[in-house]
Amino acid sequence: MDEMTDAATPAPSGSPADPRYAALGGRPGKIVAIHLSYASRADQRGRRPQHPSYFLKPSSSVAASGSTIERPAGTELLAFEGEIALIIGTPARRVGLADAWDHVAWVTAANDFGLYDLRANDKGSNVRSKGGDGYTPLGPALIDARTVDPEALRVRTWLNGELAQDDTSAGMIFPLTQLVADLSQHFTLEPGDVILTGTPAGSSVASPGDLVEVEVDVPGGPSSGRLVTTVVQGEAAFDAALGSLPSVDDLQRTEAWGSREAAGLPADDTGAPALSPGLRAKLAAVPVAGLSAQLRKRGLNNVHIDGVRPLHPEAKLVGTARTLRFVPNREDLFASHGGGYNAQKRVFDAVGDGEVVVIEARGEPGSGTLGDILAIRAHARGAAGIVTDGGVRDAAAVAAVGIPVYSAGAHPAVLGRRHVPWEGDVTIACGGTTVQPGDVIVGDADGVVVIPPAIAEEVVDAALAQEDEDAWIAQRVAEGHPVDGLFPMNAAWRAKYDAREAGRA
């Protein structure tokens, strides 16, 4: 037992007198944080990751209990995130789930502060948005990991004395042991390293003068004590000559505050943020085939709405999904749900600017799922387009409206022959893929893809870069160079391409 205690104690590095690291016994070598790990937070955000993903925080961001954190001048969205912090005691490299907890020495409270004003430009790296001085308070006391069940830990956060977050490790999508084992696949976790394990629902914005407290404990058992941080107003502003300035939009406000209502924004019927003009323009510039390739690189192979063709092959479709679901026709249900102001009419009346009506018709083309009147209504509302894996009635008139429409084909029959309009703004299946309200929809003559909104910027940036590279390769082929060694590029061609890119920078 004594040997374990000695091995588990983080070795001090840097000045042992530095009060920032008092709770840890020394400066951590690295701090690894997870993006999204609690079911409650995932439900709040409307997206649930299949696998954990991570980012790094500098050890200079560590602060002790009782410290202050500055909200920089010219910013508004400094958000708190109460978390369970794990401190590694013995080196972990390629450890399994069964052994992972043996490498954790201590558990304590953490506050993973983030400045959402910088988040969009960080594109998920969180280098600036979460790396500031004082942005990782830890402590005040350590809980011996050997004395607790990793499934029984609780984390709570108070804002000015009011409970804001309250959840347990049992509510995590990815258990604590999985995080340790997964990270150890990629690099050695060393004594003193800190893992921030994500925050539950309830994270929100703190303003100058606010007091934020976080506690990790086992109910009725050991506790970290309350980790106390006071928010103060900073005087220094960011310099535009050195880098991008803070910038916020309604998406960042919604995610920082936790909801549109909490952020003081008007209600959004789907709860989905609109695409920014910049992102919309980039998506419009990239072929669907290029986006599909990037989605495949990220493990997303089932994101194509199959079996649909455009009425306007020359038009590009870009927008966010507004969903509508039909169920197979049953006469009694059509009598109760098919007439009057039904779900189909409600969705077309409510579709917003830049949204795409996406219809689940089970791939059944044997009747129309919309006609010219509804197409006109969607166009008048500013919708970006319509996608249905069913039929279109009055196809020529629908095409004349001018709005991009993708369908399984034309059919003269009315809705009630095959379908009952059932509900809107729910997760649906269209053309063999799942579509959620707010998903990014992009279509061209090749077809339609569905992009999870959380990675849309990343995917389109990668696709644009690949398009530029492919265009350069095409020019070389047109000049008479053989494809072998050029597509894909070998080291020699890659060096030439990189030199060209460096000259353009």
**What does the pLDDT look like over 386-433, one tens digit per residue?**
999 999 999 999 999 999 999 999 999 988 889 999 999 899 999 999
Rounded CA separation 203/199 (Å): 7
**What six digits make up the tokens of 109?**
């409270």
Q: From edge to edge, which strands make up the β-sheet containing 136-144?
A: 54-57, 31-34, 194-196, 82-88, 104-111, 136-144, 62-63
Place of tokens 């249900």: 333
Q: Which residues contact 32 (CB under 8 A, 6 or more apart)?
A: 54, 55, 56, 57, 183, 193, 194, 195, 196
Instruction: Find the DSSP H helices in 108-219.
Output: 119-122, 176-186
Closest CA to 81 of 39, 44, 130: 130
Element holding 363 (H helix, E strand): none
Amino acid, single-letter form, for residue 470: D
Report the C-alpha dihedral over residues 443, 448, 451, 453, rounded to 10 degrees. Answer: 50
pLDDT of residue 158: 98
Preceding omega of 140 cis (within 30 degrees of 0): yes
**Cα angle 176, 45, 258; round to 5:** 100
pLDDT of residue 271: 45
- For residue 194, the cross-strand partners are 31, 87
Instruction: Write the secondary structure of 466-495 as one string of H (helix), E (strand) and C (coil).
Output: HHHHHHHHHHHHHCCCCCCCECCECHHHHH
Q: Do 343 and 307 meet the contact criterion of CB atoms below 8 Å apart? A: no
Q: Where are the domains of the chain?
A: 2-257, 277-456
Pair type for strands 227-233 and 419-424: unpaired
Domain 277-456 fold: Glucose Oxidase; domain 1 (3.50.30)
Rounded CA separation 21/504 (Å): 45
Rounded CA separation 380/50 (Å): 38
Place of tokens 């042992």: 16
Place of tokens 């910013």: 75
How far apart, in Å, are the Cα atoms of 345 and each of 271, 373, 409?
20, 10, 21
Amino acid, single-letter form, for residue 39: A
pLDDT of residue 47: 67
DSSP 41: H
Q: For the chain, list residues with pLDDT below 70.
A: 1-16, 46-47, 123, 266-274, 505
Rounded CA separation 417/366 (Å): 8
Q: Write the DSSP string, 442-474.
A: EEETTEEEEE-GGGHHHHHHHHHHHHHHHHHHH
pLDDT of residue 241: 85
Helix, strand, or coil (residue 329): coil
**What does the pLDDT look like over 56-82, one tens digit per residue?**
999 999 999 999 999 999 999 999 999
Is 3.40.50.300 the CATH classification of the domain at 2-257? no
**What six digits make up the tokens of 245?**
């300035």
> Please, how many CA atoms are within 13 Å of residue 102, restricted to the half-sphere of its CB?
10
